[in-house]
Amino acid sequence: MKEAKPQVEHEWLHKLLGDWTFEGRMDMGPGNPPKQATGTERFTSLGDFWVRSEGFGPPPEGAPSTWSLTLGYDPKREKFIGTWIGSMMPNMYVYEGVRDGGGRVLTLDAAGPSMTDENKTARYQDIIEFVDDDHWVMRSQVLGEDGAWSQFMETHYRRATSSR
């Protein structure tokens, strides 16, 4: 087997390495006020090809939440790939995505349970946008039955420490 070499896309993911604090807002649906969220997330590398995170958020109500994210790049498919799991649900989201031409925005597509009908699945996007090396934004949106994307979460991450 030929030895794999990291691509520029793998190096781009390493911008996430380090400790981050976040503040965000999540839309809880019609008639419900949005929830504010704060917490921390630590990104580490798994060799040259993967980054992984462990996040923690104190709950506005209920039990504390923890989650884990993995991200890599598959040069054969020319796609970013990854997974997301969280303590608050039994689902695993499997990502596939692309970076924009300017190199600041990564859009990750996934399928998961619908937020409005537990018997259906929905298409989701998590969009990572680097504002600068010490600030990035995660926006989450869902594809509605009308074919329009609707943003339901926005979280701003600020670098606490660097592992680069």
pTM: 0.91
One digit per residue, the tens of pLDDT, for the chain of length 164 reads 678 899 999 999 999 999 999 999 988 777 788 888 899 999 999 999 999 999 999 866 677 899 999 999 999 999 999 999 999 889 999 999 999 999 999 999 999 998 888 889 999 999 999 999 999 999 999 999 899 999 999 999 999 975 55
Q: Which CATH number fits domain 8-162: 2.40.128.20, 1.10.3720.10, 3.40.640.10, 2.70.170.10?
A: 2.40.128.20
Task: Give the DSSP letter string of the chain.
Answer: -PPP---HHHHHHGGG-EEEEEEEEE---TTSPPEEEEEEEEEEEETTTEEEEEEEE--SSSS-EEEEEEEEEETTTTEEEEEEEETT-S-EEEEEEEE-TTSSEEEEEEEEE-SS-TTSEEEEEEEEEEEETTEEEEEEEEE-TTS-EEEEEEEEEEEEEE--
